[in-house]
Amino acid sequence: MATAQQTMHTYEVMGGQSLKAALAKAERRNKIRAFMLVVPLLVFIAFAFLAPIVRMMYFSFENPVIVETFPKTVAALADWDPTGAPTPPEEVYAVLAEEISRAAKDRSIGKAATRLNYDKGGMRSLMTKTGRRVSRMQAGPFMDGKWKEAFLKISKKWGDRDVWVTIKDAGRRYTPSYYLKALDFRRNAEGDIVPEPESRQLYLLTGMDSVWVRTFWISALVTILCVLLGYPVAYLLANLPLRYSNLLMILVLLPFWTSLLVRTTAWVVVLQTEGVLNDVLMFLNIIDERIQLIFNRFGVLVAMTHILLPFMILPIYSVMKNIPPSYERAARSLGATPWTAFWRVYFPQSLAGIGAGGLLVFILALGYYITPALVGGPTDQMVSYFIADHTNRSLNWGLASALGGILLVGVLAVYILYDKVVGIDNMKLG
């Protein structure tokens, strides 16, 4: 794409320098030009997409509220060893009294109280109540040396080791506590990482029904279902004469191009208790009373498999299209049974398609939110639901970010695997 002037310029250079140097220079200019073309999109993606995600990851361990609202208390608590005395010394109470009354006056206490409440239920009311009472006391008679007594009079909880451990822990500017919480762990008074007691595991249960296991399990099941349903269809499409396969391809592509919400709506209409499928089953006397097909795991699996199936069929199809039929025929002519010929000769060649489709479906399934939210029950929600929930309702951005961070790591791991197995350059659409 060099202009006429540039070409002239190159000749001059060639006159002065060796051909090798001129070529290297031209090559470098070529590289820079190619890179400059990518720059606008790179800048845009960096601002509109990467910066938000990086900031979100920062949210997941950044923890400024307590250390900024109660800086002196946090500093004083640093010397207190929770494994020793059950409560900190009198000076800490005095410092907290000063800071909590100031926070109550400038109303910054609300945020701090909410933040502490994430770690330990009941902290919000304790903090606001204490703030109110202490600021009244400060206006009253001289209290030096009697703060601990006063605090304990406001609430017995101030003699509780756990309350102080919570404040001490929440006072770190950077904390792993959101990640611990996301995985249902916490730090005990000794600073060890232990699993949350079952009663405190709000949404995220450890063990087999944990949201993480559930997310992985639903995604894996959907992927397997897509392979089982997608492989035969892809095989049929790849082996039919073109005029039939093009016609049948429409049946795959139309759902692919149809709005996700339209398809979800359709499944709600088909699966609901007063819906089409129940009608048909009742009508044919297959069932005696209407069965629950939606707002449970079955509905989620059916709808997600339906939505993701084209993402499986298309990559397998494009791989199968390039498998020469002569190999299978050769196997047959050498005496293999149809099953052996398929399993030992054809199937291994189509594995690349299953890998590509499977990883793609799995990646997409991991992050599903809308479909489980609309056709699933409360115990079918995946991680994405809890990220949205903590962002919107409990406003615990740190926890939402930590959940997002773990999900993102999982997805990126599969993405890297995808790149190794399939290659990002080979990603095809439609």
Partner 1 sequence: MAKILVYALLFVCLVVAVRASIKGLRNLPPYVGSLGRSWYIGFRVICGAILVFLIMPILVIIPLSFNSEPYFTYPMPGFSLRWYEDFFVGEQSKVWHLAIKNSVIVAIFATLIATALGTIAAVGLSNARLPGKTFLMGLLISPMIVPLVITAVGMYFFYSLIGFTPRQLSEIWSGLHLLPVILAHAALGTPFVVITVTATLVGFDQSLTRASASLGADGLRTFFKVTVPLVLPGMISGALFAFITSFDEVVVVLFLAGIEEYTIPRRMFAGIREQISPTILAVATILVLLSILLLTALELLRRRNERMRGMTPA
Give whichever of 213 and 269 is closer to partner 1, judged by the CB atom. 269
Q: 219, 297 in Cβ contact below 8 A?
A: no
Q: Which of residues 48-107 bind partner 1 (CB under 8 A)?
A: 48-53, 55-56, 59
| Crossing angle (nearest 10°) for helices 211-239 and 347-366 | 140
Q: Does 36 bind partner 1 (CB under 8 A)?
A: yes
3-class secondary-structure state, position 150: helix
* C-alpha separations of 324 from 321, 329, 426, 427 in Å: 8, 10, 20, 22
Give whichever of 221 and 268 is closer to partner 1, judged by the CB atom. 268
Q: Which residue has the tokens 């069965």?
A: 291
Give whichever of 49 and 174 is closer to partner 1, judged by the CB atom. 49
Q: 410, 306 in Cβ contact below 8 A?
A: no
Binding pattern to partner 1, positions 5-24, x when CB under 8 A? --x-----------------
Q: 400, 387 in Cβ contact below 8 A?
A: yes
**Binding-residue total with partner 1 (CB under 8 A):** 95
Stretch that binds partner 1, among 9-17, 67-75, 196-204, 258-266 (CB under 8 A): 258-266
Q: Does 266 bind partner 1 (CB under 8 A)?
A: yes
Q: Which residues pair with 195 in a beta bridge?
A: 185
Q: What whole-number distance in Å separates Cα of residue 147 and Cα of residue 101?
A: 13
| Crossing angle (nearest 10°) for helices 242-257 and 211-239 | 150
Q: What whole-number distance in Å separates Cα of residue 407 and Cα of residue 411?
A: 6
Binding pattern to partner 1, positions 213-252, x when CB under 8 A? ----------------x--xx--x-----x---x-x-xxx
Q: CB-side exposure of 226: number of CA atoms within 13 Å? A: 34
- Site for partner 1 (CB under 8 A): which residue of 192, 262, 324, 335? 262
Stretch that binds partner 1, among 15-23, 25-33, 123-131, 167-175 (CB under 8 A): 25-33
Give whichever of 195 and 275 is closer to partner 1, judged by the CB atom. 275
- Site for partner 1 (CB under 8 A): which residue of 202, 261, 395, 413? 261
Stretch that binds partner 1, among 146-154, 155-163, 190-198, 305-313 (CB under 8 A): 305-313
- Site for partner 1 (CB under 8 A): which residue of 137, 143, 253, 291? 253
Q: What whole-number distance in Å separates Cα of residue 165 and Cα of residue 379?
A: 33
In the chain, the amino acid numbered 399 is L
Q: Does 286 bind partner 1 (CB under 8 A)?
A: no
Q: Which of residues 184-213 bind partner 1 (CB under 8 A)?
A: none
Q: Which residues pair with 186 in a beta bridge?
A: 194
Q: Minimal distance in Å, beta carbon 121 to partner 1?
A: 24
Q: Does 255 bind partner 1 (CB under 8 A)?
A: yes
The candidate with the shortest Cα–Cα distance to 274, out of 254, 255, 289, 257, is 289
Q: Does 419 bind partner 1 (CB under 8 A)?
A: yes
Q: Does 260 bind partner 1 (CB under 8 A)?
A: yes
